[in-house]
Amino acid sequence: MITDNILRYEAINILTKALGPVDTERFICMIKRDTFDYTKWRRNQWNDMTIEDLFAKATEYEKSKAALHE
């Protein structure tokens, strides 16, 4: 397990690479001001999908990533 500081640093770097600095800051501000319960959201995130649906989405995503690197 990594320290909280390392986790925070790595997460900010990942967000900044994926979203850019402005949208990363927007995201952090949203999280701070919302009463968003991430754990509850994750529990319910895939309720309307079957395991087959999830597998198909994951497979499609992996193929799209592979195509970008060809």
The predicted structure's pLDDT at residue 3? 95
The pLDDT profile of the chain, 70 residues, written as one tens digit per residue, is 899 999 999 999 999 999 999 999 999 998 888 787 888 888 888 888 899 999 999 999 998 887 777 6
For residue 28, how many other CB atoms are within 10 A of its CB? 13
Rounded to 10 degrees, the C-alpha dihedral 46/50/52/54 comes to -10
Angstrom distance (rounded) from CA 28 to CA 15:
10
The predicted structure's pLDDT at residue 37? 83
Angstrom distance (rounded) from CA 58 to CA 40:
22
The predicted structure's pLDDT at residue 65? 81
The predicted structure's pLDDT at residue 44? 85
Residues composing the chain: 70
The predicted structure's pLDDT at residue 6? 95
User: Residues 6 or more apart from 19 whose CB is under 8 A from it?
Assistant: 27
